[in-house]
Amino acid sequence: MTSVSDSDLLWRRCAHLGRVLLPLVDQEPGRQADRHENLRTWGITTVVGERLIEVFAALAAHAVATDASMSAAGLDALPLRTVANAATGKRDLELLAGLPHTFTDDRDQQAVSLFRLSAYEGGQASRRLFQLSREIRHTLIVLTEHTPMPCHTCGDAFHRAAATGLPQ
């Protein structure tokens, strides 16, 4: 039996957070349509854009947790507002620091690779990451302040996702 390191568990929890954010915010009327329109305006397909948003949110949460030497279990206490600030306040390359060398989910590996490529490419690709960072911040702020059941921490988001039947 292979032991899973806390670093790997932390990434998995952060990736899970990234996957539940959009379904949670999409419970708000018009939110999904607005995001899809933004993605079209920026020249990003919906599928690619939403996957990048998921991984970007996971990277932001992971960067904050890593900076704070937080364990996977401690992620529940991390405020979503702090993740929102990291999404727009940290440089793209800072978000890539401390990631696992391998990922158990191939989709995570592909999305992180696309993020990394965009960060190194610069120009229009870097501009798209900036636009996506603003979308993530907005998503997290909507979840913390403008929903009937606000999610102030990552743990709140996990509990709300479980209560609404999202995959764990």
Domain that holds residue 159: 6-163
Of 19, 18, 25, the closest CA to residue 142 belongs to 25
pTM for this predicted structure: 0.90
Instruction: Say if 168 falls within a structural domain.
Output: no
Instruction: Say if 1 falls within a structural domain.
Output: no
Mean pLDDT of 33-39: 95
Backbone phi, psi, residue 153, to 5°: -125, 170
pLDDT surpasses 90 at 166: no
Split into its structural domains, the chain has a count of 1
Instruction: Say if 114 falls within a structural domain.
Output: yes
Residue 168: pLDDT band with limits 50, 70, 90: confident
Contacts of 33 (CB under 8 A, 6+ apart): none
pLDDT surpasses 50 at 1: no
Q: Encode 101-128: b = buried (16+ Cβ within 10 Å), e = exposed.
A: eebeeeebeebbeebbebbeeeeeeeeb
Instruction: Say if 134 falls within a structural domain.
Output: yes
**54 in Cβ contact with 22 (< 8 Å):** yes
Handedness of CA 103, 106, 111, 115 (dihedral sign): positive
56-70, 91-105, 120-134: which has the minimum mean pLDDT?
91-105
